[in-house]
Amino acid sequence: MSEAKENKTKHETAWFSSGCFWGTEYHFMKAPGVISTTVGYMGGNTENPSYLEVCTGKTGHAETTEVCFDPTKTSYEELVKLFFETHDFTQIGGQGPDIGDQYRSVIFYSSAEQLAIAQKYVALLTKKGYKVATSIEPAQTFWEAEDYHQQYYERKQGTPYCHIYRKIF
């Protein structure tokens, strides 16, 4: 087997929206098995939207984090757990002080398996007594955000103000 084939990592992709994408990305980029993260927009009706357009709330997009991961080192299920454990999935119409549809809580799925896992965790949380506001929607085109948004907290050497980890599962 050639060295190139041995070093080629198989990866899968997941998309999560949980308020400001800076905080969402912060937690995912630190998760074991995550290869890369990219912030952008998904779920709207405007092609190639800009940050300023998304902030108007008129494009229908949610600030979204694309997570590429190595399924031999983590699972989609682990990422879904982290998603729920790093934001207030009961809040409608925003996240913390960030109010607007662009900050809504969404899991975008790209396969029947991802859909089933997302539904499983919404059901588990509902059974625990939570009123889950997270929607589960089919993945659409992911539009990458401007460069200055990528790995924001790492570049600024800060931590999120509205994405705090809390163990649930």
Give the chain's domains with CATH numbers: 8-141 (3.30.1060.10)
For residue 5, is pLDDT > 60?
Answer: no
pLDDT at 78 over 90: yes
CA-CA-CA-CA torsion sign (138, 141, 143, 144)? positive
68 is catalytic: no
Average pLDDT over residues 22-41: 95
- C-alpha–C-alpha distance, residues 45 and 114, integer Å: 23
Across the chain, mean pLDDT equals 92
pLDDT at 9: 66
Which pTM value belongs to this model?
A: 0.91
Catalytic residue chosen out of the listed positions 20, 55, 68, 162: 20
Q: Reply yes or no on whether the pLDDT at 143 is more than 70.
A: yes
Is the pLDDT reported for residue 140 higher than 80?
yes
